[in-house]
Structure 1
């Protein structure tokens, strides 16, 4: 076991070292005597590769890892999973348990249904005649080519949940109670088609008042589909790898929480394309752009999970933020970091000649979930105040 960005020395064969290196989740460097130094990066979780199993834990409070995993759930939803993870050091079974309980709560409100367009050839007319389809039948009167809308649960949201549930059921070491939960959920979704799911399509699902209660379950389903891989290690024993990028997780968490906290005051747009040069040259994608109710851009932010070793913002991060503020003609922008090692929560750099203000602000993830929520509210208030200047 090791912590994110930490190192461990292991006896490995060259083949094992190469397999682990190819995963891209850790850096591998040779030492003397057949030993290798493995250094974790921003990924945490369980990594299984060629007979090697690594448990990489984040440095943050275990409760807050689950807070980052899925915005929008009450503390009671993750309390037990955080405890299990804290004692077992194995993230994967706890995440599957978290996912199973979230889906159970979601489907407990009823399986989501909506009208879906269908085209079928039927003995009796249903809906309206598919004129093009009927003409192509070369004079055959029956069956009739029909077009109709059916109120069905075979919709994309349910296909996402079903795909993630099937993958979760293949994970070993999941508690029997949670495995039974997942099996019951498959039964509830039995009329939903098994289909391949693209992560980009999950991200693009529009949330409305009708499907808003699906948002937490869809978020966790995406996490499972994106990060869980299944492999067979030596001896035919199934094992699972589940690696989560803390950079991506932290950015998604901050984006969602700010969107909620600033609703009605500022619109939070994640990763829009802007251009530094005239003629739409040099495309860039800031993490966060804040617009007022009239649609005008008022502020820009970039989310960075890790500070430099000296607990200061990296120079490259400041250069990037300066480019964003210049491209959008803004007087100020903000770098949003995880906790600073020196205890400071905000610092400001004023750029020579232009007077632009580059603010670095930290969110402390070492406290309780309630304390983290309070810091998000303070961050939202600082952004709202700066955007009004």
Structure 2
């Protein structure tokens, strides 16, 4: 179903209905006689159990490649569209599994990447350097064993741990085509000597370099999978299930913030995301009202531009007059900024709304997510240029 769908009525078993509700992707409300009304709740993705497969797709009908680009760029401003060349298949899980298999196969085609890993260990001989403070605190007065640290050249590094975890998670998804499942398991077998990440543990940190270039694309996709997908293998009477759920509002707002901050890096000043602005005079902290625009650009420590990205404001005719506009008016008033930029997904023209009895303008700026990633980023760069031009114009007018 589309994320703006009014919902559908389907026959579900209680276990599947509970899993759908627990996934956060949709709401399954009982109607009696085994029927449930399934309604989207503002998230997109897919839930799969042995008896149910539910997909909620973005209203813009974005393909998987575009969705992965938005997800990846928000976490890494250097993320490029070619880092994740997603296979576009009708079903999300098939596309994810095939994409991961292809990229992991490419990454491991020349063998498992190795690198230096710092190891802390207690040994009876000196290896590397002695950790003096640890030796004194843990073994006062003892000469051996020695607390030492040394660098070991090994395949048990962050890159391989992340890749193994993603391959393992996708291998547990029910309904993946047998040939793809076989490839995922074969690739995971190449990383059998790598430490398995514990469920729920933070992902280890890796840094892009010339040495791990062939892993980049696979790692970008692996991180997206590990942060947004869950899979539970069957055990006894329990059957396997999986979910891939993302909040498109958060994805869009994070993407716009990251892309805009990079684009504004070419201009003087400093960009701050989720800026807190005090709206009223108050003696006590409990009486303070704070407004928080998505981003504020400061020049010499003074706010000069206000931005907000609103995914839910999208409509066929553009951004809708709503509380978002009142909120931007409040931000401009609080920060003494004459122009605010409201960014929303969709096609159309830039629209200026001049607020009556004030010197404040709110500019609606559409961002067409159906365009190629390079054109989306070009549009954000155009937004940065237009907004900076407005700052220059206002400065020339002495405002």
Shorter-chain TM-score: which interval? 0.7 to 0.9
- Shift of residue 357, structure 1, vs aligned partner: 1.8
CA RMSD of aligned residues (A): 4.1
- 2:2 equivalent in structure 1: 3
- 1:140 equivalent in structure 2: 142
Give the alignment of 1:369-380 within 5 angstroms.
369=373, 371-380=375-384
Alignment: residue pair count: 374
- 2:273 equivalent in structure 1: 270
- Shift of residue 338, structure 1, vs aligned partner: 0.9
- 2:76 equivalent in structure 1: none
User: Aligned match of 1:163 in 162, 165, 178?
Assistant: 165
The gaps in structure 1 that reach 5 residues or longer are none
User: Aligned match of 2:243 in 241, 244, 258?
Assistant: 241
User: Aligned match of 1:384 in 368, 383, 388?
Assistant: 388
Relative to structure 2, which stretch is displaced further, 330-339 or 5-14?
5-14
1: distance between equivalents of 2:210 and 2:281? 43
Give the alignment of 1:78-157 within 5 angstroms.
78=85, 81-82=87-88, 84=89, 88=90, 90-103=91-104, 111=113, 113=115, 116=118, 118-135=119-136, 136-148=138-150, 156=158
- 1:307 equivalent in structure 2: 313
8 Å Cα contact 1:351-1:357 kept in structure 2 = yes
- Shift of residue 339, structure 1, vs aligned partner: 0.9
- Give the TM-score normalised by the residue count of structure 2: 0.74
Against the structure 1 CA distance between its residues 155 and 289, is the aligned structure 2 distance closer, same or farther, given a 3 Å change threshold? Answer: farther
8 Å Cα contact 1:348-1:360 kept in structure 2 = yes
User: Aligned match of 2:183 in 180, 185, 206?
Assistant: 180
8 Å Cα contact 1:66-1:78 kept in structure 2 = no
2: distance between equivalents of 1:291 and 1:112? 44
Relative to structure 2, which stretch is displaced further, 330-339 or 166-175?
166-175
8 Å Cα contact 2:116-2:151 kept in structure 1 = no
Relative to structure 2, which stretch is displaced further, 231-240 or 38-47?
231-240
User: Aligned match of 1:324 in 312, 331, 341?
Assistant: 331
DSSP-derived class of the 1:226 partner: helix
- Shift of residue 181, structure 1, vs aligned partner: 5.5
The gaps in structure 2 that reach 5 residues or longer are 74-78, 394-399
2: distance between equivalents of 1:353 and 1:206? 53
Against the structure 1 CA distance between its residues 378 and 240, is the aligned structure 2 distance closer, same or farther, given a 3 Å change threshold? Answer: same
